Amino acid sequence: MLELGRNLTSVLVTGGAGFIGSALCRSLASITNVRLLVLDKLTYAGHLSSLGSILEQSNVDFIQGDICDAQLLAEIFGKFRPDAVMHLAAESHVDRSITSSREFITTNVVGTLNLLEAARAYWQTLRADRDQFRFQYVSTDEIYGSLEPGRTFNEDSRIDPRSPYSASKAGAEHLASAWFHTYGLPVLISGCSNNYGPYQLPEKLVPLAILNALEELPIPLYGDGRNVRDWIYVEDHVNALLRILCRAPPGSKLNVGSRSERTNIEVVQLICDLVDRHAGSRSRRRLISPVADRPGHDLRYAIDPSRIEAQLNWRAIVPFAEGLDSTVVWYLANRNWWTPIRQQGHGKIRLGAIDINPLDGGAKGEVKEP
């Protein structure tokens, strides 16, 4: 059973049916003395099947709802009365943000504003428990933009987003910080590197490569595949989030990373080899298919997790090769989860490719097939 080291009684998780959110909820649900309320809009990225049997537990409730619905949020705070909010609800796919930027601004910025205001109104009504309340905003390393070789992002790095997605997350992070400094709302902020693991939507690189390799379909790879990311197993990230919630003082910002930098081509090649090993050797590296790079594609991200390591004694413990192997095995064993999602087209239609015609004033926004 998970031990938090803090007397939490009720936690509201937004975006709890998504990839990272569902992993967090499965961990929280194992603490029988904590009431958990999962709030999710259940868009293309949220699936009740990711929550599984925890929805049958007496300490877990689910509400299908939108963080842009201010009235709903007020009702939730009034009835559920959480002592912690863990805010993960977001539009999160860079490719989608290129052709659907308005949805990202609405959900990630306006939705976060509504949640902050609902939390502040509720927090101001508290008396004895007021000092125990926390609002945790989960950000991303993509807000810092592209990184030169030999450097790493830390909590004081300049924010320089390059995509509509990262710009919307940067805006939401600024709001969370402002609500701490202006209103005193006890906000915690964390930023994390690329997550991978079970229950990730098949439009993201790792599950897309796994499933295309398994089905012997072309595995699209942007450009020359030399873009670098710092990869972290989702359970390591969840453990960091809970450590931050329970031990970091209000106003903290802590970046979460695993010091596991890999190029995209290295990740995809390893996935092909692992699928060969577990599903029969067929030299699936032949399926790797370079495609035109996406606009504004950052070359490299890398997190320096020194602050969270020193202040909270947290470290990522799952080695990349081990975590990727277990992820491949999970997808091979859980066709019942991903087959209905694949049938909806996830991972089979390229997102984020646009026609740019300078004579027309810029991007038209048409989605191009691979």
The tens digit of pLDDT for each residue in 47-81 reads 999 999 999 999 999 999 999 999 999 999 999 99
Give the model confidence (pLDDT) of 107-129 as tens digits. 999 999 999 999 999 999 999 88
Q: What is the pLDDT of residue 44?
A: 87
Structure tokens at 224: 């020359």
Side-chain-side CA neighbours of residue 279 (13 Å): 23
Q: Rounded to the nearest 5 degrees, what angle is found at the Cα of 336, between the Cα atoms of 331 and 34?
A: 80
Reported pTM:
0.91
> What is the largest distance, in Å, between two alpha-carbon atoms of the chain?
64
- Calculate the alpha carbon distances from 248 to 100, 182, 245 in Å: 35, 19, 6
**Burial bucket for residue 158 (CB in 10 Å: 0-12, 13-18, 19+):** exposed
Decide which of 359 and 50 is more confident: 50
Residue 148 DSSP one-character state: -
Q: How far is it, in rounded angstroms, from Cα 306 to Cα 320?
A: 19
How far, in Å, CA of 266 to CA of 58, rounded?
A: 44
For residue range 248-299, what is the model confidence (pLDDT) as tens digits? 999 999 999 999 999 999 999 999 999 999 998 779 999 999 998 777 677 7
Report the run of H or E that residue 241 belongs to, with start and end.
helix 234-247
Which of 112-116, 200-204, 294-298, 319-323 is predicted with the least confidence, judged by mean pLDDT? 294-298
Look-up of token digits 């909590």: 155
Domain layout of the chain by residue ranges: 10-197+234-256
Backbone angles phi and psi of 252, in degrees to 5: -75, 145
In the predicted structure, residue 170 carries a pLDDT above the cut 60: yes
Nearest to 107 by CA among 14, 237, 205: 14
Q: What is the DSSP letter of 295?
A: T
Which residues touch 99 (CB under 8 Å, ≥6 apart)?
351, 352, 354, 365, 367
Catalytic residues: 141-142, 165
CATH for 10-197+234-256 (1.10.3720.10, 3.40.50.1820, 3.30.1050.10, 3.40.50.720):
3.40.50.720
**For 10-32, what is each residue's pLDDT tens digit?**
999 999 999 999 999 999 999 87
